[in-house]
Amino acid sequence: MRQQSPAGRSAARARRPVGVQGGVRPVQSGAVTTRLADIAAQAGVSEATVSRVLNGKPGVAATTRQSVLAALDVLGYERPVRLRQRSEGLVGLITPELENPIFPALAQVIGQALTRQGYTPVLATQTPGGSTEDELTEMLVDRGVAGIIYVSGLHADTTADMQRYERLRAQGVPFVLVDGFSPKVEAPFISPDDRAAMSLAVTHLASLGHTRIGLALGPKRFVPVQRKIEGFVRAVQEQLGLAAQTVETELIQHSLYTLEGGQAAATALIGRDCTAVVCASDMMALGAIRAARQLGLEVPRDISVVGFDDSPLIAFTDPPLTTVRKPVPAMGQAAVRTLLEDIGGTPAPHSEFVFMPELVVRGSTASARGTAPAAEPVRARVTARPGPRTGAGRAP
């Protein structure tokens, strides 16, 4: 799925193949020589087992064989030709961008799941001023892909023309849509429960004594944004007793899904006396922390911040970010499974598979100043719950 630089391709060509019939030709990396014993240690098996796998001998469990092959990959060996998995075809994966780390994380899960099933993933990413979703779709179809997975595409935009997906369906190309929903598109959808995510965040902050909780999120035309607003308004009403109109006019700020967008939105919300801010992405949450610091406030002493996604490395920010974890592994695997069933002749009905997020409490949230937190099962997490929604196809 990744494009290699010329240097990377040269390095890949320089890799030596794994030997057979009882030996391994070592790969030199500085002063370190990787030996057969290292492969066995990496895989957690005996050297004899490694030899049997390399030589294609029977009597090795499938899981053990896969562990040895994975060890070869980790240690930089080419797999012997006989062990290379035959490709069943290409599958396109279209993402809106790769700057937000949640998209590469999801692409990795989907790519690995496709590869395990013998398919070759083709990553197509939109760029500002570059290829559009429609152009990328046309390119993938021209190359004969077996199917396409869309992540946060135009299907999530309520102002977009959904006929593009019906035209794709008419061409006989299976596809799955991740993050977003439209009743106008006859296709399977994979989504996190955005409403539940907001409930988790607001409940946590209310238990810490916060009574002015703001929400920073993207443009309102997107389905995930609308769902987060619904969940946020409902949770604030239930937890703090505020009127819906007050919540919508004073505690919600739209911006962009970027660090700068989060900074702008948080600055506005702090100016309205919010002591806590829930952000619709981790990138926005980092912007909110920057906004607080520029205003001379300390996180979490003066203001608490909650993100959404639990992107890679987000646990190592300063402070470590409390966030609502999007169930990326479950969503990615479900997208692949649903698409491959469609490719295999068993298409999923027009439905939405909704996955429950979980709250991960770290260091960016604390009790509101001058208040004692209410009792809460801190760090309690809700197990991911896949739930196909049929009929209207909407999350609860």
Whether residue 289 is predicted with pLDDT greater than 60 in this model: the reply is yes
Q: What percent of the chain has pLDDT over 90?
A: 65
Q: What is the pLDDT of residue 221?
A: 96
Contact 228, 280 (CB under 8 A): yes
Q: Which two structure tokens, joined as six digits, stand for 89?
A: 């075809």
- Which of 209, 283, 201, 285 minimizes the C-alpha distance to 235? 201
> What is the tens place of the pLDDT at every residue in 22-54?
344 444 443 233 577 888 888 899 988 988 888
pLDDT tens, residue by residue, 150-186: 999 999 999 999 999 999 998 999 999 999 999 999 9
Q: What span, in angstroms and rounded, lies between the C-alpha atoms of 163 and 145?
A: 20
pLDDT tens for each residue of 362-385: 999 999 987 655 544 433 343 333
What sign results for the dihedral spanned by CA atoms 217, 220, 221, 223?
positive
Which pTM value belongs to this model? 0.75
Residues 6+ apart with CB under 8 A from 63: none
Rounded Cα distance between 179 and 153, Å, is: 8
Helix (H, G, I), strand (E, B) or coil at 299: coil
Looking at residues 319-346, what average pLDDT do you find?
A: 96
State yes or no: pLDDT of 231 exceeds 90. yes
Pairing relationship of beta strands 304-309 and 322-325 according to DSSP bridges: parallel
- pLDDT reported for residue 326: 97
128's CB contacts (< 8 A; 6+ apart) are: none
Query: What is the C-alpha to C-alpha distance for residues 78 and 58, in angstroms, rounded to an integer?
Result: 21
- Comparing CA positions, the residue from 223, 179, 227 lying closest to residue 215 is 227
Q: How many CB atoms lie within 10 A of CB 151?
A: 25
The pLDDT value given to residue 212 = 97
* Helix residue spans in 251-383 (DSSP H): 259-271, 282-294, 328-343
3-state secondary structure 113-157: HHHHCCEEEEEEECCCCCCCHHHHHHHHHHCCCCEEEEECCHHHE
Distance CA 93, CA 61 (A): 32
Contact by Cβ (8 Å): 91, 110: no
**Amino acid letter for position 156:** A
Calculate the CA dihedral of residues 200, 204, 210, 212 and round it to 10 degrees.
-10
pLDDT of residue 178: 98
